[in-house]
Amino acid sequence: MSMKRRLPEKKRRNADQVLEFQQSSHIVELEAAVLGGVIREKDALTMVIDILKPDSFISDKHEAIYQAILLLFGKSEPVDLLTVTNQLRLTGELEFIGGPAYLAKITARRISTQIERDARIILQYAIQRNIMRVMDDVLIKAQEDTTDVFNLLDATEQSLREIQEGNLNKNIPDLQLVVQKTIQELKNKEEQEAGIASVPSGFPSLDRITGGWHNTELIIIAARPGMGKTAFVVSALRNAAIDYKMPVALFSLEMSSQQVMYRLISAEAEVDSQKLRKGDLETEDWKAIHSRLNDLDNSPIYIDDTPALSVLELRTKARRLKAFHNIKLLIVDYLQLMTAGNGKTGMNREQEIASISRSLKTIAKELNIPVIALSQLSRSVESRPDKRPMLSDLRESGSIEQDADVVMFLYRPEYYGLEETETGESTQGLAEVIIAKNRSGSVDNVKLRFIGKYTRFSEFDGFHLSPEEYEERSGVRTLGSKANDIT
């Protein structure tokens, strides 16, 4: 019986021992018994087809036979001794497996009464071999001086994930279970804001347009320096984590975790951010901080301030946060401070940014969460009279626009000394969220209020209305949020 040559030639002692044990044990006989049952019994294939793949078999002969069976099944032809023999003859593998005599031998065996159980045993052995193969590869690469250990960690985690996803197939659920899960999902949505499909931003006027931050989407929030990009995402982070109790992760490449916490405390306790930085706090400030500190202390917020973070490091950390804390939203501040870290040399900055944006979109899809990435805009914005940004201003790479599902620009005319809008409205505290791209909806402009004293964003005019009036006007049912109030 031949064995597959799937392992490195060097340093394979552990894996070789496993393969030798499996070959010398009953596993090969068990494979033959399962294949004989599939060929002889009409309904046996339906019991194992969702469990076994061709490479689940340790024997090359058995892999070839099972592949022939699957080809027949794919063509809706019957599976029996004659058809399998003919199929192997067509593919030129009949002599390789031992000819018709070997097929006759395995079909003459006593058929197992627990063929599905036996198939799962074969699967367990296959998973054991695959894990050993990955570990052997890791052992070899870990001893090489040229190996990037972060790349190796990411590749190892990805390989183990592929083994899990590739072998542990889910059975088709019972219809009653599907109905129960659907009803539960509807109840969960009913408890959330109307029209919010994923993670609410906490700004009803914005959620009315976008429907919140949606799973698998990459959202780019771009602006020139001084527009309040970090303040905006910290406000959104606070709303999701405190108001909606959703675990949120922030990867802050520009600011330390302590600086981010200063902003959160300033916004939450309504304490002047300058006072916090200087430590010039009065008794009333301390009372306000202590009264709101419990909400922050118990909120599911995770902050990583690793500088020059690579995409590989981000992916690894994000996977762990998803696995251990089930994060619902991931924020990166900001994209241009990241490195590709993919081991490729000779890439210019535009190619590197393109690689990073594609990777962020992949992370959003892989973890099934929204990913928000902040981005800088080019200086061309400053050359326009009104300083309003557009998609062509995205800095360093047009691929950011291509990869993103949503692109938003922050614009504060007050910052540029413009005292009135085109309609004569005062610009004091006015901030616009310009939705320039929205793959799943419409584009529009949303007015928000920027409160520089507390470094936070809130609804622009919601505080003028009662909750009932605001719900009727916006079409969105909201929950109370201190961050959306104006003092």
Query: pLDDT tens digits for 204-246?
Result: 888 888 888 888 889 988 888 878 888 888 888 888 888 888 8
Distance of alpha carbon 71 from its chain centroid, rounded? 35
Please determine whether the domains at 17-167 and 198-472 fall in the same fold group of CATH. no
Ordered alpha helix ranges (H), 25-167: 27-40, 44-48, 60-74, 81-90, 99-107, 115-142, 149-167
Task: Tell me phi and psi for residue 416, to 5 degrees.
Answer: -95, 10
pTM for the whole thing? 0.58
Of all residues in the chain, what percent carry a pLDDT higher than 70? 78
Higher-confidence residue: 195 or 457?
457
Question: Does 1.10.860.10 match the CATH number of domain 17-167?
Answer: yes
Computed over every residue of the chain, the mean pLDDT equals: 76
pLDDT in the model for residue 185: 57
**Domain 198-472 class, CATH top level:** alpha beta
**pLDDT exceeds 50 at position 478:** no
| pLDDT-based confidence at residue 184 (cuts at 50, 70, 90) | low
**pLDDT exceeds 70 at position 486:** no
CA atoms of 328 and 282, how far apart (whole Å): 37
Q: Report residue 194 as tokens.
A: 């109307």
pLDDT in the model for residue 354: 80
- As a whole number, mean pLDDT of residues 313-323 equals 82
CA atoms of 93 and 253, how far apart (whole Å): 57
pLDDT in the model for residue 483: 39
CA atoms of 301 and 290, how far apart (whole Å): 18
| pLDDT-based confidence at residue 158 (cuts at 50, 70, 90) | confident
Higher-confidence residue: 333 or 386?
333
User: Any idea where the domains of the chain sit in the sequence?
Assistant: 17-167, 198-472
- SS3 state of residue 257: helix
